[in-house]
Amino acid sequence: MLLLLLFAIIAGAGTAITPCVLPVLPALLSASAIGGRRRPLGIVLGLAVTFTITIVLLAKLVNGVGLGASATRTIAIVLLIGFGIVMLVPALAQRVQAPLSRLARFGPKTRGDGFWSGLGVGGALGFVCAPCAGPILGAVVGVSAATGPTLRVLVVAIAYVLGLSAVLLVYALGGRKLIARIKRSARGHLVERTLATVLIVTGVAMAFNLDVNFENFLAKHTNSLPGFLTDPTRALENSNAGQRSLVALRPESVFLKKQQQADQKAAASKTVAVATAASLPKLGAAPNFKNTEDWFNTPGDKPLSITKLRGKVVIVDFWTYTCINCIRTLPFVEGLYAHYHRYGLEIVGVETPEFTFEQEASNVRAAIKSDGITYPVVQDNRYGTWDAYQNEYWPADYFIDATGEVRHTQFGEGDYDKDETIVRELLTAAGAKDLPARMTAHAITPSNDLGTPETYLNPQRESGFVEPFSAGTNNYVGTKTLPLNQWALSGSWTVKSQSISPGPAASEISASSTSTAHISSISGSVQARDVYLVMTSGDGTPRTGRLLINGKPPTAAERGTDVRAGGYFTVVGERLYNLVKLTQDGQFTITVQLSKGINAYDFTFG
């Protein structure tokens, strides 16, 4: 626990030096520049208190940092604008400060003018402060929103806020000294009026959600900004020690726990696991869809809710469009919807992204069309619904009866016959008549002899590379021989927070080029039937890559659906690319050569 508290303090301090605090920084500096010497302390203290309340005590009500468009956020915005107006009118400022100054005997004793009004401004800022949520802050908010606050979560939250507040106090004091120098050379109340205007403009900007839009922009463009700027503590928070510490904060999924207990009970009694709907355990009330973004495949793309779906049998399917395990289940899930929707089955795909580019609504819409998905889908970019279900897997399915109760869970691939049986039983219990014969749709089956594990191409999750890589641009020498499931980089590569891309010295790949100098390549010895690689083109420009199998271009029988003659392929969209497609499992070495501008994220196998 002590290690986690230390990590939380460092993570909070790290967050304060990222662009995520820019929306509240002008108001912080403006409000700190006036009043007595204790005013900055009052502002930061007020911010710390209300921000802690937001992420712990109110998270269950508002499902996230910053309170979104809640009434509390509205009050905070009004307070910011109000304080700005007070600063613009000296007579009004005196009236407001008079009753507040009487509280000075309960606060700091030396030069405390403005301390209590500073608490008010800081309190307002704490309610609208929305720093980028890394693993530690995300765990605090997620656990608080899903199960309510605990003492352990509160202590970690306070540690995080201490780190954040310490840096903000440095900003406030430093800004105060700088503005004091400007005041000495400025005329009259020009500086005070300018600072008051900044407060008002900040409040108005937040009223129009410009701060939220800024946060979303940062989240979607993380890869194009330096890692030390957008997430300086990522390596620390994602380290093995950090992740092990966070496990203690996250309660075990209530649905998973009850499902395991029911399965153990059935196994002990040697009864049939699924006979009738009555035999299915009741795992708890299904949470509503929370903190979601765009909806697809609904009338007018309007949101659905578990409450409004009462009377129907519902499957909540967690997936993301580059997850190969999810992709393999889609024909079965779509088949269920096509076969049983008219009898009262509803399926909602909850697209919870693993990579930043999967947050783009246009990419999700394109994937829905490409995969032939006709059931409703919702984006869960902020993991609100994921956390509400305490989910941990892609894919994951929650089977909900007509009363809104979760009756079965399915994590990962497999058990398709059992899943269809459960759907039929729940539909019958809901009053469906004359169900059709069982469907013929089947999921895509992975190779029985699949041996190579999923391989991530980022410094936090990489494994199996003979020469481990780290953030930044470096040259790699590669190797001639690779044991099974081992990988190597060759040439110039730039390593980012989630992906790698050829470095500045890398050559372009083209069918007309005969030069092999300065080629940036990834090689691996794999055992699989199919090989996939998640890739993007940084600015949407079509870029060329090339695949080699055992040092040679693949034959027509070996090429994946995205590879053409000679082993060449083109990267445009941000998606999963099929590079190798064999008729049966095999062991071979692949080499993937990429042009500058292509980002590679993750190898998966089938």
**pLDDT tens-digit series, residues 251-278:** 667 787 778 787 777 777 665 554 567 7
The region of weakest confidence among 68-72, 124-128, 154-158, 319-323 is: 68-72
Is residue 16 within 8 A of residue 163, CB to CB? The reply is: yes
H/E element holding 124?
A: helix 115-128
- Residue 406 Rama label (left phi>0; alpha psi -120 to 50; beta): beta
What is the residue-averaged pLDDT of the chain?
80
Which one is predicted more confidently, 78 or 455? 455
Q: Which of 12, 312, 358 has its CA nearest to residue 164?
A: 12
Tokens of 297: 């495949």
Which one is predicted more confidently, 210 or 19? 210
pLDDT tens-digit readout, 550-570: 999 999 999 999 999 999 999
At residue 93, the pLDDT reads: 54
At residue 66, the pLDDT reads: 38
Is residue 427 within 8 A of residue 400, CB to CB? The reply is: no
SS3 548: strand
Q: Which of 384, 309, 322 has its CA nearest to residue 350?
A: 384
At residue 101, the pLDDT reads: 46
Which one is predicted more confidently, 57 or 318? 318
Tokens of 332: 């079965």
* Interatomic CA distance for residues 42 and 63, integer angstroms: 27
C-alpha distances out from residue 547 to 21, 364, 593, Å: 43, 27, 6
Sign of CA dihedral 386, 387, 388, 394: positive
* Interatomic CA distance for residues 36 and 32, integer angstroms: 9
Q: Is residue 578 very low, low, confident or very high in pLDDT (cuts 50, 70, 90)?
A: very high
* Side chain identity, residue 473: T
* Interatomic CA distance for residues 597 and 606, integer angstroms: 27
Q: Is residue 110 very low, low, confident or very high in pLDDT (cuts 50, 70, 90)?
A: very low
Contacts of 408 (CB under 8 A, 6+ apart): 259, 280, 281, 283, 398, 399, 419, 422
Number of alpha helices (DSSP H) and beta strands (DSSP E) in the chain = 19, 16
Q: Is residue 240 very low, low, confident or very high in pLDDT (cuts 50, 70, 90)?
A: low
At residue 218, the pLDDT reads: 57
At residue 398, the pLDDT reads: 96
Is residue 121 within 8 A of residue 46, CB to CB? The reply is: yes
H/E element holding 83?
A: helix 71-88
C-alpha distances out from residue 557 to 328, 414, 494, Å: 21, 28, 33
DSSP letter string, 209-235: THHHHHHHHHHHTGGGS-HHHH-TTHH
At residue 91, the pLDDT reads: 65
Contacts of 214 (CB under 8 A, 6+ apart): 22, 23
Which one is predicted more confidently, 185 or 490? 490
Hey, what CATH topology would domain 455-605 get?
A: Jelly Rolls (2.60.120)
Which one is predicted more confidently, 240 or 192? 192
Backbone angles phi, psi at 355, to 5 degrees: -115, 155
Contacts of 405 (CB under 8 A, 6+ apart): 282, 283, 284, 285, 286
* pLDDT for residue 94 is more than 60: no
At residue 500, the pLDDT reads: 93
* Interatomic CA distance for residues 604 and 606, integer angstroms: 7
Bridge partner residues of 547 (DSSP): 592
Domain with CATH 3.40.30.10 in the chain: 254-429
Q: Is residue 102 very low, low, confident or very high in pLDDT (cuts 50, 70, 90)?
A: very low
CA dihedral of 493, 498, 499, 503, whole degrees rounded to 10:
-30
| Chain center to CA of 192 | 40
> Cβ of 369: how many Cβ atoms within 10 Å?
10
Which one is predicted more confidently, 436 or 56? 436
* pLDDT for residue 345 is more than 90: yes
At residue 227, the pLDDT reads: 54
Mean pLDDT of 96-116: 49
Q: Residues of the chain with pLDDT > 90: what percent? A: 35
At residue 425, the pLDDT reads: 94
Q: Is residue 244 very low, low, confident or very high in pLDDT (cuts 50, 70, 90)?
A: low
Mean pLDDT of 358-367: 91
Contacts of 43 (CB under 8 A, 6+ apart): 28, 31, 32, 118, 119, 121, 122, 125, 172
The region of weakest confidence among 79-88, 293-302, 505-514 is: 79-88
Q: Is residue 243 very low, low, confident or very high in pLDDT (cuts 50, 70, 90)?
A: low
pLDDT tens-digit readout, 373-410: 999 999 998 888 988 898 888 899 999 999 999 999 99
Q: Residues of the chain with pLDDT > 70: what percent? A: 76
At residue 58, the pLDDT reads: 60
> Cβ of 448: how many Cβ atoms within 10 Å?
8
| Beta strand 377-379 pairing with 345-351 | parallel
At residue 295, the pLDDT reads: 96
Question: 156-189 in b/e burial notation, b at 16+ Cβ within 10 A?
Answer: bbbbbbbbbbebbbebbeebbeebeeebeeeeee
Q: Which of 451, 391, 445 has its CA nearest to residue 413?
A: 445
Homologous superfamily in CATH for domain 254-429: Glutaredoxin (3.40.30.10)
In the chain, % helix, strand, coil (3-state, to 5) comes to 45, 20, 35
C-alpha distances out from residue 483 to 286, 362, 480, 523, 585, Å: 47, 40, 10, 11, 17
* pLDDT for residue 21 is more than 50: yes
The region of weakest confidence among 56-65, 119-128, 224-233, 528-537 is: 56-65
* Interatomic CA distance for residues 368 and 346, integer angstroms: 17
DSSP state of 55: I
* Side chain identity, residue 292: T
At residue 451, the pLDDT reads: 75
Domain with CATH 2.60.120.260 in the chain: 455-605
pLDDT tens-digit readout, 145-188: 555 667 777 888 888 889 888 988 898 888 888 877 776 665 55
pLDDT tens-digit readout, 189-221: 676 677 678 778 877 877 776 766 665 565 555
Chain position carrying tokens 């049986």 = 421
C-alpha distances out from residue 24 to 47, 56, 127, 172, 214, Å: 10, 20, 10, 12, 12
Backbone angles phi, psi at 465, to 5 degrees: -90, 130
- Helix extents (H) in 270-400: 324-340, 361-371, 384-388
